Amino acid sequence: MMYPHGRGGRHFGMRFARRPHHDHDDHHHERHRRHGGGRHALGRFFAHGDLRLVILNLIADKPRHGYELIKEIEDSVGGAYSPSPGVIYPTLTLLEELNYVEAAADGAKKLYTITDEGRAFLTANRTTVDALLSRMAEAAGTQGRGRAPGIIRAMENLKMALKLRAVSGNLTNDQIDRIAQVIDEAAAKVEKI
């Protein structure tokens, strides 16, 4: 079957592009924010291409795995935003295709390292990167006053560890029982605090 504007509807071809500005879009997004739409109070945290720069900047600091990037970004905004694996891993693939990073096998995971081309791209966009880092630090300060970012980070860390363990292969009944026991013990300790 032919779809006149792509399979996903009229914006399919614009999935990664900025949409044209329309007054009704502003009204829709403002109404969406007022009524608690979105995953967090800040709405869409990064504009098109911003996350790519943040990820590249973090990898420039030191080689990292995808899940480390998720935790680092969440920590650096005080829990205000947590990118999903469905956002991080395609972005890493894009950065690899652009020759901005290289991926090396590290067990079952990939370790990403910045390339010379990636450093040049980062240098060319330093003003934007610095503005993003400033905005992230500001969000961390705002969020830190009303939330417990350390607890949020630890919960997300546990969630990610469980997901990674679950997809790494078949768990034996003994392993499942031991994991459940560890989680139950942690829950009991938290209740006593």
Q: Please give the tally of structural domains in the chain.
A: 1
**181 occurs within a structural domain:** no
**88 occurs within a structural domain:** yes
pLDDT on residue 34: 32
What is the rounded average pLDDT for all residues in the chain?
A: 75
Confidence bin at 99 (pLDDT 50/70/90): very high
Q: Which is it for the CA torsion 40, 45, 51, 53, positive or negative?
A: negative
CATH code, 61: 1.10.10.10
**100 occurs within a structural domain:** yes
pLDDT in tens, 114-168: 999 999 999 999 999 998 888 888 877 665 555 566 676 777 778 878 877 777 7
Confidence bin at 59 (pLDDT 50/70/90): very high
DSSP 163-184: HHHHHTSPPPHHHHHHHHHHHH
**113 occurs within a structural domain:** yes
DSSP 60-85: HHS-B-HHHHHHHHHHHTTTS----H
**150 occurs within a structural domain:** yes
Is 87 or 4 the better-scoring residue by pLDDT?
A: 87
**Residue appearing with tokens 């992230």:** 136
Which domain, by its residues, includes 108?
A: 42-154
pLDDT on residue 48: 81
**117 occurs within a structural domain:** yes
pLDDT on residue 42: 41
**18 occurs within a structural domain:** no
166-178 burial, b at 16+ Cβ within 10 Å, e below that, comes to eeeeeeeeeeeee
Separation between Cα atoms, residue 39 and residue 47, nearest integer Å? 16
pTM to 2 decimal places = 0.55
pLDDT on residue 66: 92
Confidence bin at 176 (pLDDT 50/70/90): confident
**pLDDT surpasses 50 at 108:** yes
pLDDT in tens, 63-92: 999 999 998 988 888 777 788 888 899 999
**37 occurs within a structural domain:** no
